[in-house]
Amino acid sequence: MQMHLRMAFDRTIGRTAGLAFRQLIWLFPIAYALHVLEELPHFTNWARRYANASFTMRDYLIVHLTGIVVSVAAPFVVRYFPNRTVIFVFLTFIFTPAVLFNIIFHAGATVAYGVYSPGLLTAITIYPVVFFVVSSQAFRERLITKRLMTISLLLAGLFHAADVSHNVFKVW
């Protein structure tokens, strides 16, 4: 199984060779929409049981429909304003929280509660590839440095934690 996953990963990476960052970021809204489709039927009930009894489908739809709009708008913004500041903001406050830290959220929640967290399958299959391909291309094109990526990752983690604690767990 591990060999098959590695081969599929390598094929995916090979198919993206030669594409620019501004092209590859279109993988993000596709992956995000697939993730939302996986979550949609069961996440609200899961959240009511394991995170917050008052979480509603309306809460879910507000956050995730906004996320879909942002995920589609972001590649346009990057295309028309292709500078390092815009790319840093995209990676820090949109892409990395939604992709990388969502992997951690769903895997962690599944382990912590011992039950499937809706969204886990796309989070552990599609999101790692999309994150790797997009962030690697950002490095190759020198759109972000290792130092700025480290800062971006730290800020994105904090941003995602605040987002989930507010929108799912309703801590504040």
pLDDT tens by residue, 27-79: 999 999 999 999 999 999 999 999 999 999 999 999 999 999 999 999 999 99
pLDDT tens by residue, 132-148: 999 999 999 999 999 99
Q: Look up residue 113 and give its two tokens.
A: 């509660």
Give the end-to-end CA distance of the chain in Å, rounded to a whole number. Answer: 42
Q: Which residues contact 110 (CB under 8 A, 6 or more apart)?
A: 116, 117, 120
Would 9 be classed as within a structural domain? no
Q: Residue 96 and residue 54: Cα distance in Å, rounded?
A: 27
Buried residues in 116-136 as b, exposed as e (16+ CB within 10 A): ebbbbebbeebbebbbbbbbe
Would 16 be classed as within a structural domain? no
Would 14 be classed as within a structural domain? no
Which domain covers residue 139, as residue numbers?
Answer: 26-167
Percent of the chain with pLDDT over 90: 87
Q: How many domains does the chain have?
A: 1
Q: Residue 107 and residue 101: Cα distance in Å, rounded?
A: 10
Would 146 be classed as within a structural domain? yes
Identify the pLDDT of residue 4: 65
Would 91 be classed as within a structural domain? yes
Would 100 be classed as within a structural domain? yes
Identify the pLDDT of residue 45: 98
Would 115 be classed as within a structural domain? yes
Would 152 be classed as within a structural domain? yes
